Amino acid sequence: MRAGLSSLREERAFAAVRRRGAEEAGAIFVKLNLLDGTGELFAPAPQAVFDEAHPSDRAFSRSLGKDPVPEGKIEERLVREIRFDPDAWIIEVEDRAGRHFLDNVVA
């Protein structure tokens, strides 16, 4: 995420670590809560999209489509992901304007 906490406050957005995973492992999921009962979920991008010139850069992809979905659908997906990877991290961003503050979102 490119915005620091003070930047998020200036932008009138809020972000928090909702679930801490393992320090040395675990996928990172970012939930964008639009504060209207809908949102988006960003998951680690598939390995095929990593840039070999910048292999340590984190890339994310929309995991439930381009349009916002009901929050319940996002939560169901997160439950499945945690069952698969108990080390997973969840970051939640609350922003009515729909800004996710991620630097690298791919298809």
Mean per-residue pLDDT over the chain, rounded: 84
Flag whether pLDDT at 12 surpasses 90: no
CA dihedral (106, 3, 72, 81) positive or negative: positive
Q: Which fold has domain 5-106?
A: hypothetical protein tt1805 (3.40.1530)
pLDDT at 62: 93
Question: Residue 46 and residue 100: Cα distance in Å, rounded?
Answer: 19
Beta bridge partners of 30: 42, 91
Q: Are 44 and 102 in contact (CB under 8 A)?
A: no
pLDDT in tens, 56-73: 567 899 999 999 999 999
Domain ranges of the chain: 5-106
The torsion angles phi and psi of 19, rounded to 5 degrees, stand at -145, 125
pLDDT of 54 > 90? The answer is: no
Pairing type for strands 89-94 and 14-19 reads antiparallel
